[in-house]
Amino acid sequence: MIVLGIESSCDETAAAVVRDDRTILADVVLSQLDEHRPYGGVVPEIAARSHLDHLDHLVAEALARSGTSFADMDAIAATGGPGLIGGVMVGVMTAKAIAAVSGKPFVAVNHLEGHALTARLTEGLAFPYLLLLVSGGHCQLLTVEGVGHYRRLGATIDDAAGEAFDKVAKMLDLGYPGGPAVQQAAAQGDVTRFSLPRPMKGRPGCDFSFSGLKNAVRLLIAEQPSLSLEDRRDIAAAFQIAVADAIADRTCAAMGLFAATHGGPGTLVVAGGVAANALLRETLAGITAEAGFRLAVPPQRLCTDNAAMIAWAGLERFRLGQSDGLDFAPRPRWPLDPQAKQLRGAGVKA
């Protein structure tokens, strides 16, 4: 079985071809980073227009690299949400058009399901497992029970983790995107000089919060008579360790819940751009080892937004007999766990 996948829900335009033996035949990603950098964040209108400009040739490139044509596909999958709606529309319309002209089924994929099932593509991981999704738009802990079966244990009640990194980087004048810049500055900082709060630490449940921490950084900056390079590095270090510590605490709570409901420890999968953070990885390696969990981090290229994960999730759904009509309407919000309470907060949220 071979599936073409399309991703366009945020600031990466991507197309990929994946086979059911877990082979990625082609995986092309075009980042719009340079187009959004002058604005210090993703501008939805620029993103949608850019997806429209580039998607056709990215699909052609994915076909060429994989040596396939539309006729070889068993299904055409695209991110159907959640995400920036203009971009999602571009991807869905493109996939529907390909499906219509080639007479192939169309599968609308939940972007979060793409992240959730990536470890099954990369290492054939069996259900169930625990997923920590930490990106610029999402911050959630979920149990992945099966295709289409998710239980959200916790989520951010305000900003996503990556969003917090980006905003703090902006405050410290470190550039965009913030995560790598904060990590780099923190590496040269003194982590003992300032102490910042660990939001939600020790609270019942597995929810996250980062807006209080962001404000604490704002106040700390305001307290400094002048912001030297050393100050900025020390603040970046204090912020980074606070985020890693807060995420670790919430993840420990989720591992406890998972172990209690699944007869013992299992595997923790980490996905999303923030999974690139070295301190976070180190911290998660420590807490998983202590809890008897295995830590699985897919390769960075497949942790951040890509279309291989969308093709794979589409393939997993399609081989279970699921597909969508050409009347599918793109969804700005699309929670993986419909039973979970609705999320609030800015940005791209499920």
Residues that bind ligand KG4 (CB under 6 A): 10, 135-137, 162, 165-166, 177-180, 183, 272-274, 276-277, 304-305
Nearer to Zn ion by Cβ, of 66 and 135: the residue is 135
Q: Kindly state the tokens that stand for 75.
A: 């299904």
Across 35-68, b (16+ Cβ under 10 Å) vs e yields ebeeeebbbbebbbbbbbebbeebbeebbeebeb
- Dihedral angle sign, alpha carbons of residues 16, 115, 32, 329: positive
Nearer to ligand KG4 by Cβ, of 50 and 66: the residue is 50
Site string for Zn ion, 77-116 (x = CB under 5 A): ----------------------------------------
Nearer to ligand KG4 by Cβ, of 104 and 349: the residue is 349
- Order the strands of the 2-7 sheet from edge to edge: 24-31, 12-19, 2-7, 75-81, 106-110
316 binds Zn ion (CB under 5 A): no
CB of 278 to ligand KG4, least distance (A): 7
Q: Quick one: what does residue 307 bind among Zn ion, ligand KG4, none, with the CB cut-off 5 to 8 Å set by partner type?
A: none
Report 28-47 residues binding Zn ion (CB under 5 A): none
Nearer to ligand KG4 by Cβ, of 209 and 323: the residue is 209
CB of 272 to ligand KG4, least distance (A): 5
Select the residue interacting with Zn ion from 158, 159, 166, 305 (CB under 5 A).
305
Q: Kindly state the tokens that stand for 285.
A: 């390696």
| Distance in angstroms (rounded) separating the CA atoms of residues 321 and 256 | 34
Nearer to ligand KG4 by Cβ, of 98 and 131: the residue is 131
301 Cβ contact partners less than 8 Å away, ≥ 6 residues apart: 27, 29
**Are the beta carbons of 282 and 257 closer than 8 angstroms?**
no
163 binds Zn ion (CB under 5 A): no
Across 132-144, b (16+ Cβ under 10 Å) vs e yields bbbbbbbbbbbbb
Stretch that binds Zn ion, among 84-92, 157-165, 200-208, 298-306 (CB under 5 A): 298-306
Nearer to ligand KG4 by Cβ, of 2 and 295: the residue is 295
Looking at residue 343, the DSSP 8-state letter turns out to be: P
Alpha helices in the chain, H assignment, sequence order:
33-36, 44-66, 85-102, 111-123, 161-171, 178-187, 211-223, 229-261, 278-291, 300-303, 308-318
Site string for Zn ion, 115-144 (x = CB under 5 A): --------------------x---------
Q: Quick one: what does residue 335 bind among ligand KG4, Zn ion, none, with the CB cut-off 5 to 8 Å set by partner type?
A: none
Q: Quick one: what does residue 277 bind among Zn ion, ligand KG4, none, with the CB cut-off 5 to 8 Å set by partner type?
A: ligand KG4
Alpha helices in 262-291, H assignment, sequence order:
278-291
Nearer to ligand KG4 by Cβ, of 169 and 254: the residue is 169
When computed from its CA atoms, the radius of gyration of the chain, rounded to whole angstroms, is: 20
Looking at residue 70, the DSSP 8-state letter turns out to be: G
CB of 310 to ligand KG4, least distance (A): 13
Write out the residues near Zn ion by the rule CB under 5 A: 135, 305
